[in-house]
Chain A
């Protein structure tokens, strides 16, 4: 007995192509959205890690310091700098082209990566009758899909050796 063979007619083919394109477009949109969401989340998390790392180091170095070298320190401006006198070499923190620099003697190190620039380094020297401390405000700026964002981190440290 002869069997009836069938295939796809042109109209059916076009409909299938249109439906497939629509489904692929929707799927691609969701995949790209998920990727951008992941990317933004990652860069924000990295900003927190950089901010916390910087603040912990600055606070620790300040706490171990003997005194603040006022002549080479800049307070109450967004581009501050501080020189901490220690029992060894002086420690300096300052901004240079979006990088927060740490210097101790001949050693120099940038504390933040290129992707996360430090745009705000505000220092306030707080003095009491018996001690001296420095308050730090750091602003870290990074790029997301929606544009640039800035997160701020604060810390305060009293120089333990400033106690009389």
Chain B
């Protein structure tokens, strides 16, 4: 019997089922690629937030020392404990305000009391040290109030001013 090549047979083209399957495969691949792109965009934004937050944490730590150096009795001591204040940059320096600034990121500073034992070592069961404050610094993204990172700074009334 003579062999008949497939290309010469009567059946030609794609059936409807084959077309639907091919389109579905193409759609799945496209969605997968789109998902990867979206994830990379999210990762890039998250990394950028971390960079800015780290710089802001460092700046806030220095700013707290600046406020301490300026006057403990004016800038630190009167602030209410366990209440978040916003770090605000001004032309003349820094302040801690109850109003959030209009910036892409904002920083909150919350002071807690510090207790020490008779030897001056930090001890939660010790006596309250009015010349020290434990500041919790938190950096948020303003668009959605997302907490990016936080840290702690121990501030002392070193200059007794």
Where the two chains meet, the residues of A that have a C-beta atom closer than 8 Å to any C-beta of B are 3-6, 30, 34, 37-38, 41, 44-45, 48-49, 51-52, 55, 59, 124, 126, 128-131, 133, 135, 153-158
Main secondary structure of the interface of A (DSSP, over half): mixed
- Asked whether B9 lies within 8 Å of A155 as measured between CB atoms, the reply is no
Taking the closest CB of chain A, its distance from the CB of B109, in whole angstroms, is 14
Taking the closest CB of chain B, its distance from the CB of A139, in whole angstroms, is 13
Q: Which of A30, A51, A131, A155 contacts B58 (CB 8 A)?
A: A155
Q: Which of B58, B69, B94 contacts A129 (CB 8 A)?
A: B69
Taking the closest CB of chain B, its distance from the CB of A6, in whole angstroms, is 6
In the complex, chain B residues 1-60 whose Cβ is within 8 Å of any chain A Cβ: 4, 8-10, 12, 30, 33, 37, 40-41, 44, 47-48, 51-52, 54-56, 58-59
Residues on A with beta carbons closer than 8 Å to the beta carbon of B91: 124
**In the docked arrangement, what's the CA distance between A156 and B54, Å?**
13
- Asked whether A154 lies within 8 Å of B89 as measured between CB atoms, the reply is yes
The answer to whether A44 and B55 touch (CB under 8 A), given A133-B62, A157-B62, is no
- Asked whether B12 lies within 8 Å of A6 as measured between CB atoms, the reply is yes
- 6 further A-B pairs in the complex, CB-CB below 8 A; given A45-B47, A156-B62: A3-B8, A34-B37, A41-B40, A135-B89, A154-B55, A158-B66
Interface residues on B, range: 20 to 34
Q: Which of A4, A128, A133, A156 contacts B10 (CB 8 A)?
A: A4
**In the docked arrangement, what's the CA distance between A157 and B8, Å?**
82
The answer to whether A128 and B51 touch (CB under 8 A), given A37-B37, A59-B58, is no
- Asked whether A5 lies within 8 Å of B8 as measured between CB atoms, the reply is yes
**In the docked arrangement, what's the CA distance between A95 and B99, Å?**
35
- Asked whether A154 lies within 8 Å of B65 as measured between CB atoms, the reply is no
The answer to whether A158 and B55 touch (CB under 8 A), given A4-B8, A5-B8, is no
Taking the closest CB of chain B, its distance from the CB of A161, in whole angstroms, is 14
The answer to whether A128 and B55 touch (CB under 8 A), given A3-B4, A48-B47, is no
Instruction: Assess whether B78 is interfacial by the CB under 8 Å rule.
Output: no
Chain A residue nearest to B93 (CB atoms) is A126
The answer to whether A128 and B66 touch (CB under 8 A), given A34-B33, A153-B55, A155-B58, is yes
